[in-house]
A and B are shown apart, each in its own frame.
Chain A
């Protein structure tokens, strides 16, 4: 498959780097201010050093590191390039979910596929996306949006959404790291947050993670998969957005609450739950040694099925290569 990678952050750069290993070719890369297009439409990337027609991943990485750009083209050129699959890896935005939403619909209008790492469009405008897919020969996939490397969406699809009664889990590594450290060290939130920021586990503004928004977006996406997947006619499906989620975060959980939980063999985890009817994210009490009490930045997804009991999948919920592996898995499913 020929890929256009939109967004050259941790995820986009890893997709560019690893695509060759999966047998795909990157024909265009864009960041917020520049692009490189390899197919002779004015690109500076030119044929890769291995003689293939794609952009040279090393050259892209080097330019991004040294000059902060990926090439001398305009980002719009990457969108117009001759690709089979557009990889959307720009920042997750809420509300209209732009520019990610338009990047995806541009691909669909051209009857190309799109694979998203960006949660915004699938969480905030699932119905609009479905409508755009219906009018296109292209498809969308978005495994990377939920639980990074964990195959949550495709497992739900394999089981069939109509036979999945609920999906729950730990879907934010930053919040989980903080709760794990608070419990282990008996420290308060502020101390552990500072430590997490030093380690690069939490961002300077950690709100998205610690207030539960990120986990809620993932659950909203799962709720959409369950709701739309269970009906024949999409107009019968209930569409979820972040507004439909009941969300509370971990910011004010005192260290004393974790100590009380530990005395009783329990701990607190930020648990997200999605069904085709509701989305809820909140700190919850779970058994200290239970399946859901994953530690550090680990994530876990627990799928409740009608005929096959419960499935648990744990793993790395974030990171460039981890997320890129989910993106490239999706690309493979589109072949």
Chain B
């Protein structure tokens, strides 16, 4: 299940060839917090959506460095695609709150799609239903096995077992999935459901219907 991920962020960063020029770029950047003595820089994560073409990553990093952001890491999820068929990239950098706003504005005005700007580890939320013999098949085991999957964590569970524990019951699960890993999280749930003969009602992901 969870071990089918395309690679941990750390590994991806090391292996990512685009990381080299980025470091050079970071060296040219003004030191964080240059003219704003009052504000202290903190770490920010932005999630960008890039077209799969050469030079796109570098182009997206300019606005960060040029506006006083201090690049810390880049997680280029080449194996994953966003619903629009683009490549999700997570960039961590240090900046003051004020500069952070300027950086996001600069990225957007450069035409870079900023999907999310913040510090949460789990970027995507997904709600699904499970039904069948949830109680007999050990609901807490089901939940902890989903939790054990690196792609997602269980944020919220609602259970309805109207006929007592013998009959089919239903649960609504809200999962928080790591950026770009909703599909991996769903397939982990799917596998678990098949094993326990439960049915999953999946959301239509990537479709804001």
Residues of A participating in the B interface, judged by any CB pair closer than 8 Å: 168, 248, 252-257, 259-261, 263-264, 266, 268, 271, 282-287, 290-293, 302
Q: What secondary structure prevails in chain A residues at the interface with B?
A: mixed
With A283-B201, A285-B128 known as contacts, the answer to whether A260 contacts B158 (CB < 8 A) is yes
On whether the beta carbons of B209 and A291 are closer than 8 Å, the reply is yes
Contact A257 B201 (CB under 8 A): yes
Q: Are B203 and A261 in contact, with the CB atoms below 8 A?
A: no
Report the count of interface residues on B (CB-CB < 8 A). 21
Pairwise interchain contact B209-A261, C-beta atoms closer than 8 A: no
Within 8 Å CB of B201, what residues of A? 253, 257, 261, 268, 282-285
- In the assembled complex, which residues on chain B have CB atoms less than 8 Å from the CB atom of A260? 129, 158, 160, 170-172
Instruction: Tell me if B207 and A168 are in contact (CB < 8 A).
Output: yes
The 4 closest A-B pairs by CB, nearest first: A256-B160, A257-B170, A290-B209, A260-B172
Residues in A with CB closer than 8 Å to B161 are: 256
**CB distance A286 to B171 under 8 Å?**
no
**Is B70 in the interface zone, CB < 8 Å from A?**
no
Q: Can you list 29 pairs linking A and B with CB atoms under 8 Å apart?
A: A168-B204, A168-B207, A248-B199, A253-B131, A253-B201, A254-B131, A254-B162, A254-B170, A256-B160, A256-B161, A256-B169, A257-B131, A257-B201, A259-B160, A260-B129, A260-B171, A260-B172, A261-B129, A264-B158, A264-B172, A282-B201, A283-B201, A284-B203, A284-B204, A285-B127, A285-B128, A285-B204, A287-B209, A302-B207
Cα A263 to Cα B201 in complex, Å, equals 15
Interchain CA distance A222-B158 in the complex, whole Å: 37
Residues of B within 8 A of A282 (CB): 201-202
Mask, B103-141, CB within 8 Å of A = 1, is 000000000000000000000000111010000000000
Q: Are A256 and B170 in contact (CB under 8 A)?
A: yes
- Residue among A264, A285, A286, A287 with the most chain B CB within 10 A? A285
A268 touches B209 (CB 8 A): no
Chain B contacts of A168 at CB under 8 A?
204, 207
0/1 string, B149-176, CB within 8 A of A gives 1: 0000000001011100000111110000
Complex-state Cα separation, A284 to B202, whole angstroms:
5
Q: How many Å lie between the Cα of A260 and that of B207 in the bound state?
A: 21
Residues of chain B within 8 A of A257, CB atoms compared: 129, 131, 160, 170, 201
Contacts of B131 in A (CB 8 A): 252-254, 256-257
Chain B nearest Cβ from A246, distance in angstroms? 11
Given contacts A254-B131, A260-B158, A286-B204, 8 further A-B contacts (CB under 8 A): A256-B169, A260-B129, A261-B172, A264-B127, A283-B201, A284-B201, A284-B203, A293-B209
